[in-house]
Every structure is written in structure tokens, then in C-alpha cells.
A and B are shown apart, each in its own frame.
Chain A
Amino acid sequence: MSSSHTDSSSPAVEMDPVEYTLRKRLPRKLPKRRNDVYVNMKTDFRAQLARCQKLLEGGGHREICVHGLGLAINRAINIALQLQASSQGALQLAANTSTVELVDDLEPEDPDEAGEPMTRTRNNSAIHIKVFYPDPQ
């Protein structure tokens, strides 16, 4: 990701304390809960959808949580709505939103130059959708 031609902005390569810990956080949640699904734009949509389906039906989880960041928000919403549609209304959705900080590291293109590497922080939106079977009452 670090091209040496232009100002290289690589997210979280340096040991920036904010970013380092931040980046550690997101993936760390993943193994913690089996029913967390993080959606991205690289994996095929159907595959992600199938994974969610499998968790709900086969895995015996009563609820799963679908997360999406930035552009993947749309996909996460789509997955959640599709899950709900295919369940014939048995599933319910609960969506929460949040802001995630992303840090870009800018390195000076010319190594001889005196510029120091800068970091730029930006915010991104994220969505967390809980897909669950409501408790029978």
C-alpha cells in the first residue's frame, strides 16, 4: 500500500499509539464472539450472506451482529435486510451507529527530505446491526 511515488497514506502502518491500539481493537473482537460478522467489500456478497445464514441456522446462535465500516455499511444493511426477508419476518433488526477513527500515515515521498512523517486522522461511520430472534413473550 505504500507507494513511494506520492504521499503514501497507509492506514496504520506506524506504531501510532492511537492507531495501533485502534487497529488492534477491531479484529480482536472477531474471535471473541462467534456471532460477530464483519462485512467488507472484498469478499463476495453471497459468501458473506451465506456465512450469516449459517451462523443463524446451523450455529444455533439466537442473534448475530453484523458490522460494517464506511462503504461496507450499505452491504451490511443489505445483508441484514436479506436475512430478515428470508426468515419470513421471524428475525428482527436493531441497528446502532458509531464513529470510528482512522489514522493515515503520511510519509515524505523523498527520503532525503526533512519532512517528518505525519499522521492524519479522519472519522468514518460504522454500523452494527443485531439480527436476532425476538424472545417469545
Chain B
Amino acid sequence: MFTGCGVVSGQNQYLNRDAVRPHPGLEASRPIQMGNGVTPGTCPVYQGQIYSNAGQSAVVNNVSSPLKTAPLPVPLSALKLGQEGFKKVCRTEEDSPCPFPGLASGVLEMRVKEGSKIRNLMGFAMARMQGEKGVSGGGLSDGGLRQVVFTGSGRAVTKTITCAEIMKRKVGCLHQLTKLRYKVVKEVWESTEGGNSEMTVHRTVPSISILLSKDPLDPQEPGYQPPETLSALWEEREGAEPASHTTCKRPLGPLPHSSFPNCKRVCLGEGVSVLPPH
């Protein structure tokens, strides 16, 4: 099924001759448990994998000046690069098109990075969303934006989701659309020992974009999540009706049964229809 090669098949560099491999096998990401003191935040990152459907340009890792001989044990993870005496100089994201079709141009885009402080992000976003509603509702002016997009990649994905959830809680009745895709990130590493050697690494990381909108969105779109008007008290439902066939038609819609007022304890969102939809 998939090549089950934990290590990226020892290909030393992504001097991948075969640029776009139709990917019969899966090159699973190397779990970046590099043995020692792994930073807990490392998530499996796809090192320069090329996906046939992703339409990305050939992800080639250029080693501008080969430090060591060609069969370099590819320093794929940040940890390893750090150990080899490299320092990250800069990291640029390659821009991919916005995944939301037909999005209004006046939408606020919040780019969540790994080091972003949620407090700062939310302060800014909430001020925008909760400002006075624009007269036309278009939200172009400073007050009363109708839509906001949170995007994050790599380690910032969890934080992105957290920001979106916080906003949903504070500003109720927001429609949500979530999109997942891969993003190619280019990093430039430089050697600390001097010697002007540098390496450019192309890394493919998972990225998420969450659109929150006061206006209703298309429910047929994959990734759509309706606003939670009545919070589901799971324990109540589970306790009272263990059979669960009576409950929720949860798929996408406010719960028919929850007659509880908005409880502070928001447990699980409606999410995907976890119970058999039909």
C-alpha cells in the first residue's frame, strides 16, 4: 500500500530527478522523533514530498554549496539541522491561492504563526468583528466585519483552531468553513561555523484555513460547520439516551433536542456527524 519507509528513503537531497512522482506509495512522514530530546511541538512534516494532485511546482531542495559529500544524511528536521551547526536564517512561505472560492475581498485575514500570542490575535480580530456593523454590511470599513479567515501552518495549526474556536464562542452564530491543504515552506539555513555555506530546504507542511462568517455559507461545501445555536450537553444526551438513535440528527443543524439554554460548558461542537447520519 505504501512504501512504509519511515526515513525518506534515504534520498539525500530532494534533488529529485523525478519531480512529480505519481505517488503510488505513500511516503509517510518521518516522525521527527530524532531520538534525543525531541521538542514536543514537532509534528510530522513532509519533507519535500511531491504530490501528484497538489499541483505544486517541483519541490527541489537546493543545496547551494554542498557542505559535505553528496550522500549527506539529509538534515531534514530542525533539530538535526540545529545539531549540525546550522541556524535558520529565514523562512518564507510560498503563497498558495486562497482556498475559499468567491470570498469577498474585504475579508480580514489573520495569519497565525507559531509564536503568535492568542491574546493579541483575538484582541485584534474581536475588535474588528465586533465593531459597529458597517452600514452596507459589506464590512469594508473598520467596524463590523462580516468575515474573517484564520490561516496557519505547521505548528501553528492548533493555535489557529483555538483562535477560531474562541472567536466562535465570543461572537455567536458564526458559520464556519474549514479547508486543509499542504503548504510549501522555504527555509534558508546557514552554518554557524562560518564558511558561507547555506542550505535551502523546502518543506511541505500541513496548513489549515478557517473562514468564519456572520453570513450563511453554502452548507454543501465540504468543511462547512453551522453555528452552534444550542450547545449540546453531551453528557445529558448520552446519559439519558444511551440508545442514541433518538438523538441528534446531528449532521448539520441545530440540535432538535437540546432544550438547554446556552450552557457555559461548551463541550464538543457539532462537528461532523459522529453518529451514523442515516
Listed in ascending order, the chain A residues whose CB lies under 8 Å from chain B are 17-18, 21-22, 24-25, 28-29, 32-33, 36, 44-46, 49-50, 53, 57, 65, 70-71, 73-75, 77-78, 80-82, 84-86, 88-89, 92-101, 123, 125-130
Contacts and interface: CB of A to CB of B under 8 A. Distances in A.
Contacts of B274: 29, 33, 36, 65, 128
Nearest to A97: B161
A53 B53 contact: no
A61 B149 CA distance: 33
- Top 9 closest pairs, chain A to chain B, by CB: A98-B269, A21-B235, A74-B43, A94-B222, A96-B271, A89-B53, A95-B178, A125-B161, A85-B51
Contact of A77 (B28, B176, B208, B267): B208
Given A21-B235, A86-B2, A130-B272, A95 B180 contact: yes
Nearest to B28: A46
Interface of B: 1-2, 4, 6, 22-23, 25-26, 28-29, 31, 40-41, 43-44, 46, 49, 51-54, 155, 157-158, 161-162, 164-165, 169, 176, 178-182, 206, 208, 210, 222-225, 234-235, 238-239, 244, 265-272, 274-276
Contacts, number: 155
Contact of A92 (B157, B162, B176, B222): B222
Contacts of B157: 73-74, 77
B235 A97 contact: no
18 contacts: A21-B234, A25-B234, A28-B238, A33-B275, A45-B28, A53-B1, A71-B158, A73-B158, A74-B43, A77-B206, A80-B180, A85-B26, A85-B53, A89-B52, A93-B180, A96-B178, A97-B210, A125-B158
